[in-house]
Amino acid sequence: MLQKCLALLFIALLSACTYQPYIAALPAEVEQQQLLSMQQENEEWLLLDVRSAEEYQAGYIKGAVNISHLQLSDKISSIEQYKDKNIVVYCRSGRRAGIAIKLLQDSGFHQVSHLVGDMNGWQAANLPTVNQEQ
C-alpha cells in the first residue's frame, strides 16, 4: 500500500514538472480596456486579427490587420516591421490566436500578446467594431 502511494506521489510530481514549462510559455495577455487605451496612443504597434477573411469582413476591431492563421507563415514578411514592436493577436475564441502567437514567437517576434476574450469577448462587452458588410 505504501509503495502504491509513493508511486502515485512520484507520478504526480513528474506531471507537475512537465506542466510548468507550458505555463511559462503562455503569452502575455492584454485586457479589453488596455487595448482601447493603446488605440488612443501614438505608438506604433500591430493589432492582428487571425480569423478568416469572411469573419473579418463581418466585423473587426478598429485598426486590425487581417491575416488568417492559415496564411500567416506565408505572409509573415508583410509584418516584419513589427518584429520589435508590440503585437496584439486575436481570433474568435482563442484557439487560432494561440497558434498564431506560437508561430510569431518562433519567427523571432518577441512582444506578442493575446487579447483576453478575443472577438467573442469584445462583442459580449459591446465594444466598438468596424463592419465592412454594411
Using alpha carbons only, give the angle 43, 92, 38 rounded to the nearest 5 degrees.
15
Sequence-separated (6 or more) residues with CB below 8 Å from residue 71? none
pLDDT band of 3, cuts 50, 70, 90 = low
Q: Rounded to the nearest 5°, which phi and psi values hold at 43?
A: -70, 150
Q: Whose grid coordinates read 508583410?
A: 78
Q: Is 2 inside any structural domain?
A: no
* Rounded Cα–Cα distance for residues 106 and 111 (Å): 12
* DSSP β-ladder status, 87-90 and 112-115: parallel
Query: Which structural domain, as residue segments, surrounds residue 103?
Result: 26-124
Tens of pLDDT, residue by residue over 19-69, are 333 333 345 999 999 999 999 988 899 999 999 999 999 999 999 999 999
Task: Judge whether 5 counts as a catalytic residue.
Answer: no
35: domain CATH number? 3.40.250.10
* Global pTM exceeds 0.95: no
Sequence-separated (6 or more) residues with CB below 8 Å from residue 3? none
Catalytic residue among 48, 79, 91, 115: 91
The total number of structural domains in the chain stands at 1
Q: Is 48 inside any structural domain?
A: yes
